[in-house]
Amino acid sequence: MAHWLLLPVVAGLSLVLTDGLRRYALARSLMDIPNARSSHSVPTPRGGGVAIVASFLLALPWLAVAGLASWHLVWALLGAGMGVALLGFLDDHGHVAARWRLLGHFAAAGWALFWLGGLPPVMVLGHTLDLGWAGHGLAVVYLVWLLNLYNFMDGIDGLAGVEAICVCLGAAALYALPGMAGGPAVDVWLALLLACAVAGFLAWNFPPARIFMGDAGSGFLGITLGILSLQAAWAAPQLLWSWVILLGVFVVDATFTLLRRLLRGDKVHQAHRSHAYQHAARRFGRHLPVTLTVAAINLGWLLPIALGVASGGVEGGVGLLVAYAPLLALAIKFRAGQPESRGSDC
């Protein structure tokens, strides 16, 4: 099979599997029922993200055999991805205590870092720093936070899928830059395959959604994107900055919301709808404008800055500050972390 044919095959498999999962969820009454903390108003099947997991992971060994991905990276993705997806699947079908989920998340992050070799050297102000064991600890926290923030940000139709596709296509653009031949150029296949796996699901999840991703899919996407970012940084240290810039919409909204809720003394493990994107969806009365705006920010604002950092034209820390400043302003404008009040989002 020509390598490029794998992309539509993965997208098609994800599309078909999502349809099957939707039928399964309807038959088993696996539904998200609207409540006071929901951003939707119609009971909707959940668990469609399993299609993303299955279609992507099934393609990984083939990529390794074809020499399009290293076995170390494949083992990192397989072990961490399946572990996180299984935990999410169990939670989607019942309930797994938060402490056990978090323990599983740290175990998955540790597994991934074992195969990746830990945190790669970080480029700061033109200097490459090896943080040693402290860096490996930071990398574990980084992966666990990305995993959970992706779950937090999967709250309106199409948002998590659009974010993943934009980030993956942005990563592919980074790898296509002159001078990026080598490691990242090979790993571009993983970014493209993940985008295709998400696209098949997104056909069912785009507003108005006919099925939700569920924890199995959102957690899987979070840790997978984190692993890909660390792998890219092993080949070119500045790429870690570029990846974190590409993920900026989710990182800023989730982090700012969490900090505000912590400072207010809220129980941060409880479900809520105080993220900026949730306030925005209520203000506009629909999910679609918010989802499309996030796509526009990703491609029109964050991607050019990420490309500038990857090419060496912009220092990573400076690029991050420039990229995140308007995102923080938007988070404040849309009351990220502030409790919902009657009429405040109208």
HSE, CB side, 13 Å, CA atoms: give it for residue 3.
14
| Mean of the per-residue pLDDT values of the chain | 90
CA–CA distance, 71 with 61 (Å, rounded to integer): 8
Residue-wise pLDDT tens digits, 109-137: 999 999 999 998 888 877 777 888 888 99
Residue-wise pLDDT tens digits, 186-227: 678 999 999 999 999 999 999 999 999 999 999 999 999 999
Report the 3 state secondary structure along 202-214.
Answer: HHHHCCCCCCCCH
Of 128, 163, 170, the residue nearest 307 (C-alpha):
170
Coil, strand or helix at 124? strand
Residue-wise pLDDT tens digits, 160-173: 999 999 999 999 99
List, as residue ranges, the binding site for Mg(2+).
151, 215
Indicate the range of 29-33, 138-142, 271-275, 297-301 predicted with least confidence.
29-33
| Longest CA–CA separation in the chain, Å | 57
Of 23, 28, 183, the residue nearest 116 (C-alpha):
183
Q: In the chain, what percentage of residues exceed pLDDT 90?
A: 71
Residues whose CB is less than 8 angstroms from the CB of residue 267 and which lie 6 or more positions away in sequence, other chains included: none
Its pTM stands at 0.94
List, as residue ranges, the binding site.
151, 215
Residue 182: phi and psi, rounded to 5, are 120, -135
Residue-wise pLDDT tens digits, 217-261: 999 999 999 999 999 998 888 999 999 999 999 999 999 999 999
pLDDT at 346: 41
Residue-wise pLDDT tens digits, 168-194: 999 999 988 876 654 555 678 999 999
pLDDT at 249: 98
- H and E: helices and strands count for the chain: 14, 4
